[in-house]
């Protein structure tokens, strides 16, 4: 029963963001000044949620692994001063306990290193049991769709119903232009199987390089219809203590989202245009079908005339057709230009009918 909810329940929370959720902020909260300066420069017109890493699970020890609990005080100031929703990564049940105690976080995400471990996801799900917070699950490090879906099922089983996923790419085993291979096929397969679950793209972690962030964002939003983006931004990216190469200045985030919105509006215009084109296509099909039927009737008329020795050309009949057009003009109110078009069209149709009748063989 719980599993069915994953496949059938609509995730209405995404509608609050007009189906385009933009999350941005530094990879890591490094100090209060850096956090507040970054938040100040992020434009709320384009970004609804401020993200920042409090704890940073790193591949190797002795690298910067996050500031820890003190960072919640800075996030609280961001929330109060700039009115952003707040999002952080949680890697275990202890993180959940501390975050809930501070009561500042609106959106939690489970990172790729945690998603890969069902025991960890289960513990997190139990710690968040029954919460109305939004919980997003990043794809596991390796391209394992079942493991990704299984993480969501564990959340649903604990009555965590405001859920979504983040596509952050998958580990590379060789050289690639990206830090993590996007393997779009996996994300699109997820979207196909679970169309009711919002999917956010993390172009920062896919790219590992700021110069690819726009092209990946465009592919996710415009080409594949994802529901949002998580983009890492920093007030001084070159000095960032983690993932400096993939972080951009806050103003660049606004530029990217603005460009995407322009393209989305163009897409909407084309969709409206497509509706009119569908109508034209349907009418054209009917016209062609009717013209084909008319040709068959012309064949029968030709056979009848030949059998009964009747002239092919009947001038009075043509005059009657022209008079009918004139009557329709009065009824429908079409213009003289349209009448001229109809006259020319029906001359072609009439000539074709005569051709068919003349070439009938009994």
Buried b / exposed e along 45-76 (16+ C-beta atoms within 10 A) = ebbbbbbbbbbbeeeeeeeeebbeeebbebbe
Confidence of residue 139 (pLDDT cuts 50, 70, 90): very high
Residues 175-227 pLDDT 10s: 788 999 999 999 999 999 999 999 999 999 999 999 999 999 999 999 999 99
Please determine whether the domains at 2-270 and 281-358 fall in the same fold group of CATH: no
Confidence of residue 4 (pLDDT cuts 50, 70, 90): low
Strands 180-181 and 170-171, bridge-based pairing: antiparallel
| CATH class of the domain whose range is 281-358 | mainly alpha
- Cα 91 from Cα 96, distance rounded (Å): 8
- DSSP state letter for 308: T
Buried b / exposed e along 207-227 (16+ C-beta atoms within 10 A) = bbebebbbebbbbbbeeeebb
Residues 244-296 pLDDT 10s: 999 999 999 999 999 999 998 887 777 777 778 878 988 898 899 899 999 99
β strands within 212-281, DSSP E = 228-232
Percent of the chain with pLDDT over 70: 97
At 143 the three-state DSSP class reads: coil
Handedness of CA 35, 29, 50, 184 (dihedral sign): positive
Confidence of residue 73 (pLDDT cuts 50, 70, 90): very high
- Cα 153 from Cα 5, distance rounded (Å): 9
- Cα 362 from Cα 358, distance rounded (Å): 11
Listed residue (129, 128, 119, 105) closest to 52, CA to CA: 105
Q: Is residue 340 scored above 50 in pLDDT?
A: yes
Q: How far is CA 130 from CA 119, 257, 273, 300, 342, in A?
A: 19, 33, 45, 75, 68
pTM, to two decimals: 0.78
Domain boundaries, the chain: 2-270, 281-358
CATH tag, 2-270: 3.20.20.70
Percent of the chain with pLDDT over 90: 69
């Amino acid at each position: 029963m719980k599993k069915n909810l994953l496949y059938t329940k609509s995730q209405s929370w995404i509608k609050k963001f007009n189906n385009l959720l933009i999350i941005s902020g530094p990879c890591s909260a490094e100090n209060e000044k850096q956090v507040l300066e970054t938040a100040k420069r992020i434009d709320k017109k384009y970004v609804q949620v401020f993200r920042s890493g409090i704890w940073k699970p790193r591949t190797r020890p002795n690298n910067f692994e996050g500031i820890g609990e003190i960072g919640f005080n800075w996030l609280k100031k961001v929330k109060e001063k700039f009115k952003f929703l707040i999002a952080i990564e949680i890697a275990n049940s202890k993180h959940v306990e501390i975050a809930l105690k501070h009561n500042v976080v609106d959106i939690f995400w489970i990172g790729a290193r945690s998603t890969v471990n069902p025991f960890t996801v289960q513990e997190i799900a139990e710690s968040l049991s029954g919460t109305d917070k939004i919980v997003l699950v990043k794809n596991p490090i390796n391209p394992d769709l079942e493991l990704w879906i299984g993480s969501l099922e564990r959340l649903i089983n604990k009555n965590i119903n405001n859920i979504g996923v983040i596509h952050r790419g998958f580990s590379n085993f060789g050289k690639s232009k990206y830090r993590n291979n996007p393997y779009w096929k996996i994300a699109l397969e997820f979207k196909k199987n679970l169309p009711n679950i919002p999917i956010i793209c993390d172009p920062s972690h896919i790219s590992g390089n700021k110069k690819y962030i726009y092209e990946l964002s465009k592919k996710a939003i415009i080409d594949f219809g994802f529901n949002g983006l998580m983009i890492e931004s920093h007030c001084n990216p070159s000095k960032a203590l983690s993932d400096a190469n993939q972080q951009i200045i806050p103003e660049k985030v606004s530029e990217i989202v603005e460009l995407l919105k322009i393209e989305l509006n163009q897409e909407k215009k084309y969709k409206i245009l497509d509706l009119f084109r569908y109508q034209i296509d349907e009418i054209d099909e009917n016209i062609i079908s009717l013209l084909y039927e008319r040709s068959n009737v012309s064949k029968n008329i030709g056979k009848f005339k030949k059998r009964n020795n009747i002239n092919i050309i009947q001038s009075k009949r043509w005059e009657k057709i022209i008079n009918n057009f004139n009557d329709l003009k009065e009824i429908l109110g079409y213009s003289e230009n349209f009448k001229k078009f109809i006259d020319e069209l029906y001359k072609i149709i009439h000539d074709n009918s005569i051709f068919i009748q003349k070439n009938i063989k009994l």
